[in-house]
A and B are shown apart, each in its own frame.
Chain A
Amino acid sequence: QKEVEQDPGPLSVPEGAIVSLNCTYSNSAFQYFMWYRQYSRKGPELLMYTYSSGNKEDGRFTAQVDKSSKYISLFIRDSQPSDSATYLCAMTSNQAGTALIFGKGTTLSVSS
């Protein structure tokens, strides 16, 4: 079993839809959870950062972490064509200069 599982998609939605992206993980030591957005041929851009369980909201984006289920989600409200990208979940157990463990990434396409 991989440490982090993420459905690669592709996921296609119409403009204005609510998008739900998810990752599951197996390592109960993970405490720091991130979502990155990566456009084609660009570096990953940090969208959301969450420590431990709970919700975090930033504009149209909401990140949820459920450590009891080892499940994290990213919700995008009122999706826009500019949201079309690959979304990578990432997590780590130790905050001090350690590698992020990434999911495979979900490719999202929002059509106008």
Chain B
Amino acid sequence: DTEVTQTPKHLVMGMTNKKSLKCEQHMGHRAMYWYKQKAKKPPELMFVYSYEKLSINESVPSRFSPECPNSSLLNLHLHALQPEDSALYLCASSQDREGVDEQFFGPGTRLTVL
């Protein structure tokens, strides 16, 4: 099983809303990632959790807040977003083991901020 699942598939929210994106994997992977992808652009890393320890891309605004409740789950909490935050949000996971670290992506959550 090489599946990463994400919910919801689509999300429309206003700039004053608070919402959360969820990601789950059952491959025993110890690293999980959030990427943001705008149309016709490659994915850009937002956050990495490796063994439940967070690494932050310092360019990511504080209105995005990640949470890793356990090694299988990853959340992205959203608050006071801007229309330019509309994008495909991708979760990925990898084994985080030397010599074997393919990153497997979920299908993404397509976010629209009105």
Is the pair A34, B42 in contact by a Cβ cutoff of 8 Å?
no
Q: Mark A86-111, 1 if CB is under 8 A from B, else 0.
A: 00101010011111101111000000
Is the pair A97, B107 in contact by a Cβ cutoff of 8 Å?
no
Is the pair A36, B96 in contact by a Cβ cutoff of 8 Å?
no
Q: Does A59 contact B (CB under 8 A)?
A: no
Q: Choose among A44, A49, A88, A99 the residue that contacts B48 (Cβ–Cβ < 8 A).
A: A99
CB distance from B103 to the nearest CB of A (A): 6
Across the interface, name the chain A residue whose C-beta is closest to B101: A95
Interface residues of A, dominant DSSP: loop
Across the interface, name the chain A residue whose C-beta is closest to B97: A95
Q: Which of B56-114 contact A (CB under 8 A)?
A: 57, 88, 90, 94, 96-108, 110
Q: Does A17 contact B (CB under 8 A)?
A: no
Is the pair A41, B110 in contact by a Cβ cutoff of 8 Å?
yes
Chain A residues near B7 (CB, 8 Å)?
none
A residues in contact (CB < 8 Å) with B:
32, 34, 36, 41-46, 49, 51, 88, 90, 92, 95-100, 102-105
